[in-house]
Amino acid sequence: MFSRIARPQAINIVGNVARNFSVSAQNNRKVAVMGASGGIGQPLSLLMKNSPLVTELSLYDIVHTPGVAADLSHIESPAKVTGYVGPDQLDASLKGCEVVVIPAGVPRKPGMTRDDLFNTNASIVANLAKACALNCPDAMICIISNPVNSTVPIAAEVYKKAGADPSRIFGVTTLDVVRANTFIAELKGLDPSTVNCPVIGGHAGITIIPLISNCTPAVQFPADELKALTERIQDAGTEVVKAKAGAGSATLSMAYAGARFAISMIKAMNGEAGVVECAFVSSTVTEASYFSTPLVLGPNGMEKNLGLGSLSAFESELVTAALPELKKSIKKGEDFVANM
Ligand code: NAD
Ligand code: LMR
Protein backbone atom coordinates (compact mmCIF):
# COMPACT_ATOMS: atom_id res chain seq x y z
CA MET A 1 0.00 0.00 0.00
CA PHE A 2 1.32 3.46 -0.74
CA SER A 3 0.89 6.16 1.85
CA ARG A 4 -2.47 7.87 1.80
CA ILE A 5 -2.64 11.09 -0.14
CA ALA A 6 -2.86 14.26 1.94
CA ARG A 7 -5.88 16.01 0.44
CA PRO A 8 -4.98 19.59 -0.53
CA GLN A 9 -7.00 22.32 1.08
CA ALA A 10 -10.13 23.21 -0.84
CA ILE A 11 -9.78 26.21 -3.11
CA ASN A 12 -11.86 28.86 -1.42
CA ILE A 13 -13.12 31.38 -3.93
CA VAL A 14 -15.46 33.13 -1.55
CA GLY A 15 -14.66 35.61 1.16
CA ASN A 16 -11.52 37.60 1.64
CA VAL A 17 -9.18 34.64 1.65
CA ALA A 18 -6.49 36.44 -0.29
CA ARG A 19 -6.70 39.61 1.81
CA ASN A 20 -6.44 37.71 5.07
CA PHE A 21 -3.46 35.63 4.02
CA SER A 22 -0.05 37.06 4.82
CA VAL A 23 2.24 36.49 1.87
CA SER A 24 5.90 35.90 2.68
CA ALA A 25 8.74 36.29 0.21
CA GLN A 26 8.98 32.54 -0.41
CA ASN A 27 5.36 32.52 -1.49
CA ASN A 28 6.03 34.85 -4.40
CA ARG A 29 5.36 32.83 -7.51
CA LYS A 30 4.95 33.91 -11.10
CA VAL A 31 2.43 31.73 -12.90
CA ALA A 32 1.56 31.68 -16.61
CA VAL A 33 -1.68 30.38 -18.10
CA MET A 34 -1.30 29.54 -21.80
CA GLY A 35 -4.68 29.52 -23.52
CA ALA A 36 -5.98 31.92 -20.90
CA SER A 37 -8.97 33.19 -22.91
CA GLY A 38 -10.55 29.76 -23.32
CA GLY A 39 -13.27 27.84 -21.55
CA ILE A 40 -10.77 26.45 -19.04
CA GLY A 41 -8.28 29.30 -19.26
CA GLN A 42 -10.60 32.03 -17.94
CA PRO A 43 -11.92 30.32 -14.79
CA LEU A 44 -8.48 28.81 -14.14
CA SER A 45 -6.96 32.29 -14.35
CA LEU A 46 -9.63 33.53 -11.93
CA LEU A 47 -8.73 30.81 -9.42
CA MET A 48 -5.02 31.57 -9.77
CA LYS A 49 -5.68 35.30 -9.36
CA ASN A 50 -7.60 34.48 -6.20
CA SER A 51 -4.72 32.48 -4.72
CA PRO A 52 -2.52 34.41 -2.29
CA LEU A 53 0.36 32.15 -3.36
CA VAL A 54 0.49 33.83 -6.77
CA THR A 55 2.09 37.25 -7.01
CA GLU A 56 2.32 37.58 -10.80
CA LEU A 57 -0.09 36.11 -13.31
CA SER A 58 0.85 36.06 -16.97
CA LEU A 59 -2.03 35.36 -19.35
CA TYR A 60 -1.20 34.24 -22.89
CA ASP A 61 -3.53 33.37 -25.75
CA ILE A 62 -3.80 34.05 -29.47
CA VAL A 63 -6.96 36.12 -28.79
CA HIS A 64 -8.69 38.25 -26.13
CA THR A 65 -6.07 38.23 -23.33
CA PRO A 66 -5.93 42.04 -22.95
CA GLY A 67 -9.63 41.97 -21.97
CA VAL A 68 -9.33 38.94 -19.71
CA ALA A 69 -6.30 40.49 -17.98
CA ALA A 70 -7.98 43.89 -17.55
CA ASP A 71 -11.03 42.20 -16.04
CA LEU A 72 -9.08 40.01 -13.61
CA SER A 73 -6.73 42.84 -12.64
CA HIS A 74 -9.57 44.58 -10.75
CA ILE A 75 -9.84 41.73 -8.23
CA GLU A 76 -8.53 42.71 -4.79
CA SER A 77 -5.82 40.05 -4.50
CA PRO A 78 -2.02 40.56 -4.66
CA ALA A 79 -1.29 38.97 -8.05
CA LYS A 80 -0.26 41.45 -10.73
CA VAL A 81 -1.96 40.39 -13.97
CA THR A 82 -0.53 40.97 -17.45
CA GLY A 83 -2.12 39.91 -20.72
CA TYR A 84 -0.05 38.81 -23.72
CA VAL A 85 -1.61 38.18 -27.10
CA GLY A 86 -0.24 36.47 -30.21
CA PRO A 87 3.05 34.78 -31.10
CA ASP A 88 5.02 38.06 -30.98
CA GLN A 89 4.33 38.26 -27.24
CA LEU A 90 4.80 34.56 -26.45
CA ASP A 91 8.40 34.81 -25.22
CA ALA A 92 7.62 37.82 -23.03
CA SER A 93 4.67 35.99 -21.46
CA LEU A 94 6.96 33.23 -20.17
CA LYS A 95 9.98 35.18 -18.89
CA GLY A 96 10.52 34.56 -15.18
CA CYS A 97 7.59 32.15 -14.84
CA GLU A 98 7.96 29.41 -12.24
CA VAL A 99 4.75 27.51 -12.98
CA VAL A 100 3.19 27.31 -16.46
CA VAL A 101 -0.29 25.82 -16.88
CA ILE A 102 -1.25 24.92 -20.45
CA PRO A 103 -4.95 24.54 -21.36
CA ALA A 104 -4.42 25.79 -24.96
CA GLY A 105 -6.00 23.85 -27.79
CA VAL A 106 -9.29 22.60 -29.14
CA PRO A 107 -11.78 20.57 -27.06
CA ARG A 108 -13.86 17.56 -28.13
CA LYS A 109 -17.30 17.58 -29.68
CA PRO A 110 -19.73 14.65 -29.28
CA GLY A 111 -18.55 11.53 -31.13
CA MET A 112 -14.86 12.48 -30.95
CA THR A 113 -12.11 10.77 -28.95
CA ARG A 114 -9.39 12.79 -27.27
CA ASP A 115 -6.99 11.37 -29.85
CA ASP A 116 -9.07 13.05 -32.58
CA LEU A 117 -7.68 16.35 -31.19
CA PHE A 118 -4.08 15.28 -31.87
CA ASN A 119 -3.75 16.87 -35.32
CA THR A 120 -4.59 20.35 -34.00
CA ASN A 121 -3.25 20.24 -30.46
CA ALA A 122 0.08 18.47 -31.05
CA SER A 123 1.62 21.46 -32.79
CA ILE A 124 0.05 23.96 -30.34
CA VAL A 125 1.62 22.13 -27.39
CA ALA A 126 4.93 21.60 -29.21
CA ASN A 127 5.21 25.35 -29.95
CA LEU A 128 4.34 26.35 -26.40
CA ALA A 129 6.75 23.76 -24.96
CA LYS A 130 9.52 25.09 -27.20
CA ALA A 131 8.88 28.60 -25.90
CA CYS A 132 8.93 27.31 -22.28
CA ALA A 133 12.23 25.49 -22.88
CA LEU A 134 13.75 28.73 -24.19
CA ASN A 135 12.25 31.25 -21.76
CA CYS A 136 11.60 29.44 -18.46
CA PRO A 137 13.39 26.07 -18.58
CA ASP A 138 13.22 25.65 -14.79
CA ALA A 139 9.45 26.21 -14.56
CA MET A 140 7.02 23.45 -13.62
CA ILE A 141 4.95 22.75 -16.75
CA CYS A 142 1.39 21.53 -16.14
CA ILE A 143 -0.20 20.25 -19.35
CA ILE A 144 -3.98 20.12 -19.60
CA SER A 145 -4.33 20.10 -23.43
CA ASN A 146 -5.59 16.82 -24.84
CA PRO A 147 -4.72 14.17 -25.71
CA VAL A 148 -2.65 14.30 -22.51
CA ASN A 149 -1.33 10.77 -23.18
CA SER A 150 0.43 12.23 -26.26
CA THR A 151 0.90 15.94 -25.45
CA VAL A 152 3.09 15.19 -22.42
CA PRO A 153 5.53 13.05 -24.45
CA ILE A 154 5.44 15.77 -27.14
CA ALA A 155 6.47 18.44 -24.64
CA ALA A 156 9.16 16.18 -23.19
CA GLU A 157 10.64 15.43 -26.61
CA VAL A 158 10.64 19.15 -27.48
CA TYR A 159 12.50 19.81 -24.21
CA LYS A 160 15.08 17.11 -25.03
CA LYS A 161 15.61 18.60 -28.51
CA ALA A 162 16.10 22.04 -26.96
CA GLY A 163 18.60 20.67 -24.40
CA ALA A 164 16.22 21.40 -21.50
CA ASP A 165 15.34 19.08 -18.58
CA PRO A 166 11.94 17.39 -19.20
CA SER A 167 11.55 16.13 -15.62
CA ARG A 168 9.48 19.20 -14.70
CA ILE A 169 6.70 18.35 -17.17
CA PHE A 170 3.44 17.06 -15.66
CA GLY A 171 0.27 15.89 -17.39
CA VAL A 172 -2.65 17.14 -15.31
CA THR A 173 -4.92 14.19 -14.47
CA THR A 174 -6.34 15.81 -11.34
CA LEU A 175 -9.85 16.00 -12.80
CA ASP A 176 -10.01 12.19 -12.77
CA VAL A 177 -9.21 12.20 -9.04
CA VAL A 178 -11.75 14.97 -8.41
CA ARG A 179 -14.43 13.00 -10.26
CA ALA A 180 -13.59 9.74 -8.47
CA ASN A 181 -13.84 11.50 -5.10
CA THR A 182 -17.17 13.09 -6.04
CA PHE A 183 -18.80 9.94 -7.44
CA ILE A 184 -17.66 7.78 -4.52
CA ALA A 185 -18.97 10.36 -2.05
CA GLU A 186 -22.33 10.44 -3.85
CA LEU A 187 -22.68 6.66 -3.69
CA LYS A 188 -21.61 6.37 -0.05
CA GLY A 189 -23.29 9.51 1.31
CA LEU A 190 -19.94 11.06 2.25
CA ASP A 191 -18.71 14.65 2.22
CA PRO A 192 -16.72 14.70 -1.06
CA SER A 193 -14.05 16.94 0.46
CA THR A 194 -13.10 14.08 2.80
CA VAL A 195 -12.73 11.46 0.07
CA ASN A 196 -9.41 10.75 -1.58
CA CYS A 197 -9.20 8.19 -4.38
CA PRO A 198 -5.97 7.95 -6.40
CA VAL A 199 -6.39 7.56 -10.15
CA ILE A 200 -3.45 6.17 -12.12
CA GLY A 201 -2.54 5.36 -15.74
CA GLY A 202 -3.35 8.00 -18.33
CA HIS A 203 -6.12 10.42 -19.24
CA ALA A 204 -8.34 8.76 -21.86
CA GLY A 205 -10.98 6.03 -21.58
CA ILE A 206 -9.59 2.72 -20.36
CA THR A 207 -6.23 4.30 -19.52
CA ILE A 208 -7.97 6.10 -16.60
CA ILE A 209 -7.62 3.67 -13.67
CA PRO A 210 -9.26 4.62 -10.35
CA LEU A 211 -7.75 2.74 -7.40
CA ILE A 212 -10.92 2.42 -5.37
CA SER A 213 -9.24 -0.21 -3.19
CA ASN A 214 -6.87 2.58 -2.05
CA CYS A 215 -9.60 5.12 -1.31
CA THR A 216 -9.61 7.05 1.93
CA PRO A 217 -11.89 6.47 3.78
CA ALA A 218 -11.96 2.79 2.79
CA VAL A 219 -15.05 1.95 0.73
CA GLN A 220 -16.41 -1.34 -0.55
CA PHE A 221 -18.67 -2.04 -3.53
CA PRO A 222 -20.12 -5.27 -4.93
CA ALA A 223 -18.36 -6.31 -8.17
CA ASP A 224 -21.10 -5.02 -10.51
CA GLU A 225 -21.22 -1.60 -8.77
CA LEU A 226 -17.43 -1.37 -8.74
CA LYS A 227 -17.35 -2.01 -12.50
CA ALA A 228 -20.08 0.58 -13.17
CA LEU A 229 -18.36 3.18 -10.95
CA THR A 230 -14.99 2.57 -12.61
CA GLU A 231 -16.56 2.95 -16.06
CA ARG A 232 -18.34 6.16 -15.02
CA ILE A 233 -15.01 7.66 -13.91
CA GLN A 234 -13.38 6.53 -17.17
CA ASP A 235 -16.21 8.01 -19.26
CA ALA A 236 -16.86 11.14 -17.20
CA GLY A 237 -15.26 13.45 -19.76
CA THR A 238 -17.56 12.04 -22.44
CA GLU A 239 -20.52 12.49 -20.06
CA VAL A 240 -19.77 16.25 -20.03
CA VAL A 241 -19.07 16.42 -23.78
CA LYS A 242 -22.48 14.82 -24.47
CA ALA A 243 -24.28 17.11 -21.99
CA LYS A 244 -22.66 20.21 -23.55
CA ALA A 245 -23.96 18.98 -26.93
CA GLY A 246 -21.31 20.54 -29.15
CA ALA A 247 -20.34 23.45 -26.89
CA GLY A 248 -17.08 21.81 -25.78
CA SER A 249 -15.91 19.69 -22.88
CA ALA A 250 -15.38 20.12 -19.14
CA THR A 251 -14.19 23.65 -18.37
CA LEU A 252 -15.27 24.66 -14.86
CA SER A 253 -14.43 21.37 -13.13
CA MET A 254 -11.16 21.33 -15.10
CA ALA A 255 -10.35 24.86 -14.01
CA TYR A 256 -10.90 23.73 -10.41
CA ALA A 257 -8.73 20.64 -10.94
CA GLY A 258 -5.99 22.60 -12.76
CA ALA A 259 -5.90 25.18 -9.99
CA ARG A 260 -5.78 22.44 -7.36
CA PHE A 261 -2.75 20.90 -9.10
CA ALA A 262 -0.95 24.23 -9.67
CA ILE A 263 -1.56 25.38 -6.10
CA SER A 264 -0.34 22.03 -4.73
CA MET A 265 2.77 22.47 -6.86
CA ILE A 266 3.38 25.98 -5.52
CA LYS A 267 2.91 24.80 -1.93
CA ALA A 268 5.48 22.05 -2.52
CA MET A 269 7.87 24.53 -4.18
CA ASN A 270 7.48 26.70 -1.08
CA GLY A 271 8.68 23.82 1.08
CA GLU A 272 5.39 22.47 2.39
CA ALA A 273 5.91 18.79 3.26
CA GLY A 274 3.62 15.91 2.31
CA VAL A 275 2.10 17.39 -0.85
CA VAL A 276 0.95 14.46 -3.00
CA GLU A 277 -0.87 14.63 -6.32
CA CYS A 278 -1.34 12.15 -9.15
CA ALA A 279 0.10 13.29 -12.50
CA PHE A 280 1.11 11.76 -15.84
CA VAL A 281 4.91 11.84 -15.90
CA SER A 282 7.92 10.08 -17.36
CA SER A 283 7.91 6.82 -15.43
CA THR A 284 9.55 3.44 -14.93
CA VAL A 285 6.70 2.10 -12.82
CA THR A 286 5.21 0.06 -15.70
CA GLU A 287 6.33 -0.82 -19.22
CA ALA A 288 4.72 2.43 -20.46
CA SER A 289 7.34 5.18 -20.47
CA TYR A 290 4.80 7.71 -19.09
CA PHE A 291 2.29 6.82 -16.41
CA SER A 292 0.27 8.66 -13.80
CA THR A 293 0.80 7.63 -10.18
CA PRO A 294 0.71 9.53 -6.88
CA LEU A 295 3.78 11.76 -6.66
CA VAL A 296 5.29 13.47 -3.65
CA LEU A 297 5.90 17.02 -4.84
CA GLY A 298 8.76 19.15 -3.53
CA PRO A 299 10.73 22.31 -4.26
CA ASN A 300 12.11 20.78 -7.46
CA GLY A 301 8.93 19.16 -8.73
CA MET A 302 8.61 15.40 -8.37
CA GLU A 303 10.42 14.40 -5.19
CA LYS A 304 9.29 10.77 -5.13
CA ASN A 305 7.10 8.57 -7.31
CA LEU A 306 4.91 6.53 -4.96
CA GLY A 307 4.30 3.95 -7.68
CA LEU A 308 1.30 1.69 -8.11
CA GLY A 309 0.88 0.65 -4.50
CA SER A 310 -1.07 -2.52 -3.85
CA LEU A 311 -3.73 -3.24 -6.47
CA SER A 312 -6.77 -5.48 -6.33
CA ALA A 313 -7.03 -8.18 -9.00
CA PHE A 314 -9.64 -6.02 -10.78
CA GLU A 315 -7.29 -3.00 -10.79
CA SER A 316 -4.33 -5.10 -12.01
CA GLU A 317 -6.46 -6.19 -14.97
CA LEU A 318 -7.29 -2.54 -15.70
CA VAL A 319 -3.55 -1.70 -15.78
CA THR A 320 -2.85 -4.60 -18.15
CA ALA A 321 -5.71 -3.49 -20.42
CA ALA A 322 -4.51 0.13 -20.47
CA LEU A 323 -0.87 -0.45 -21.39
CA PRO A 324 -1.17 -1.12 -25.16
CA GLU A 325 -3.24 2.05 -25.77
CA LEU A 326 -0.98 4.12 -23.52
CA LYS A 327 2.17 2.94 -25.27
CA LYS A 328 0.62 3.69 -28.68
CA SER A 329 -0.38 7.25 -27.66
CA ILE A 330 3.06 7.91 -26.16
CA LYS A 331 4.79 6.70 -29.32
CA LYS A 332 2.48 8.83 -31.48
CA GLY A 333 3.57 11.91 -29.52
CA GLU A 334 7.26 11.01 -29.67
CA ASP A 335 7.07 10.28 -33.42
CA PHE A 336 5.37 13.63 -34.01
CA VAL A 337 8.36 15.49 -32.55
CA ALA A 338 10.88 13.24 -34.28
CA ASN A 339 9.28 14.16 -37.63
CA MET A 340 8.88 17.88 -36.93
P1 NAD B 1 -11.36 26.37 -25.61
O2 NAD B 1 -11.45 26.23 -27.09
O3 NAD B 1 -12.49 26.95 -24.87
O4 NAD B 1 -10.07 27.21 -25.23
C5 NAD B 1 -8.82 26.94 -25.79
C6 NAD B 1 -8.04 28.23 -25.86
O7 NAD B 1 -6.77 27.92 -26.42
C8 NAD B 1 -8.69 29.30 -26.74
O9 NAD B 1 -8.80 30.51 -26.03
C10 NAD B 1 -7.73 29.44 -27.89
O11 NAD B 1 -7.66 30.75 -28.44
C12 NAD B 1 -6.43 29.03 -27.24
N13 NAD B 1 -5.39 28.67 -28.18
C14 NAD B 1 -5.49 28.03 -29.37
N15 NAD B 1 -4.29 27.95 -29.94
C16 NAD B 1 -3.40 28.53 -29.10
C17 NAD B 1 -2.00 28.74 -29.13
N18 NAD B 1 -1.27 28.35 -30.17
N19 NAD B 1 -1.43 29.36 -28.08
C20 NAD B 1 -2.19 29.76 -27.02
N21 NAD B 1 -3.50 29.59 -26.94
C22 NAD B 1 -4.11 28.98 -27.97
O23 NAD B 1 -11.02 24.89 -25.05
P24 NAD B 1 -11.11 24.41 -23.52
O25 NAD B 1 -12.44 23.87 -23.25
O26 NAD B 1 -10.52 25.44 -22.64
O27 NAD B 1 -10.11 23.13 -23.57
C28 NAD B 1 -8.74 23.30 -23.79
C29 NAD B 1 -8.04 21.95 -23.84
O30 NAD B 1 -8.09 21.29 -22.57
C31 NAD B 1 -8.66 20.95 -24.83
O32 NAD B 1 -7.64 20.29 -25.54
C33 NAD B 1 -9.39 19.97 -23.94
O34 NAD B 1 -9.55 18.70 -24.54
C35 NAD B 1 -8.46 19.93 -22.75
N36 NAD B 1 -9.03 19.41 -21.51
C37 NAD B 1 -8.25 18.62 -20.73
C38 NAD B 1 -8.71 18.13 -19.52
C39 NAD B 1 -7.82 17.28 -18.65
O40 NAD B 1 -8.33 16.65 -17.72
N41 NAD B 1 -6.52 17.25 -18.86
C42 NAD B 1 -10.01 18.45 -19.10
C43 NAD B 1 -10.79 19.26 -19.91
C44 NAD B 1 -10.30 19.74 -21.13
C1 LMR C 1 -12.18 15.54 -19.58
O2 LMR C 1 -11.83 14.49 -19.06
O3 LMR C 1 -13.22 16.15 -19.25
C4 LMR C 1 -11.30 16.15 -20.64
O5 LMR C 1 -10.28 15.29 -21.00
C6 LMR C 1 -12.06 16.68 -21.81
C7 LMR C 1 -12.64 15.59 -22.67
O8 LMR C 1 -12.47 15.66 -23.90
O9 LMR C 1 -13.29 14.69 -22.16
Examine the pLDDT at 25 and tell me if it is beyond 90.
Answer: no
What was the pLDDT predicted at 70?
A: 98
User: Does 144 sit in the ligand 2 pocket, CB within 6 Å?
Assistant: no
Region 113-120: what's the mean pLDDT? 97
What was the pLDDT predicted at 15?
A: 36
Q: In the chain, where are the structural domains located?
A: 24-173, 174-330
* Tens digit of each residue's pLDDT (9 = 90 or more) over 159-190: 999 999 999 999 999 999 999 999 999 999 99
What was the pLDDT predicted at 27?
A: 61
Residue 334 and residue 117: Cα distance in Å, rounded?
16
Q: Does the annotation mark 74 as catalytic?
A: no
User: Does 149 sit in the ligand 2 pocket, CB within 6 Å?
Assistant: no
Q: Per CATH, is 174-330 categorized as 2.40.320.10? A: no
Give domain 24-173's CATH architecture. Answer: 3-Layer(aba) Sandwich (3.40)
User: Does 126 sit in the ligand 1 pocket, CB within 6 Å?
Assistant: no
* Tens digit of each residue's pLDDT (9 = 90 or more) over 267-323: 999 999 999 999 999 999 999 999 999 999 999 999 999 999 999 999 999 999 999
Please tell me the pTM assigned to this model: 0.94
Atom 5 (ligand 2) nearest CA: 237
Q: Which bound ligand lies closest to the C-alpha atom of 109?
A: 2
Question: What confidence category does residue 26 fall into, taking pLDDT thresholds of 50, 70 and 90?
Answer: low
Question: What confidence category does residue 127 fall into, taking pLDDT thresholds of 50, 70 and 90?
Answer: very high
Residue 91 and residue 246: Cα distance in Å, rounded?
33
Examine the pLDDT at 1 and tell me if it is beyond 50.
Answer: no
Atom 30 (ligand 1) nearest CA: 145
Q: Which bound ligand lies closest to the C-alpha atom of 173?
A: 1
Whether 24-173 shares its CATH topology with 174-330 is answered no
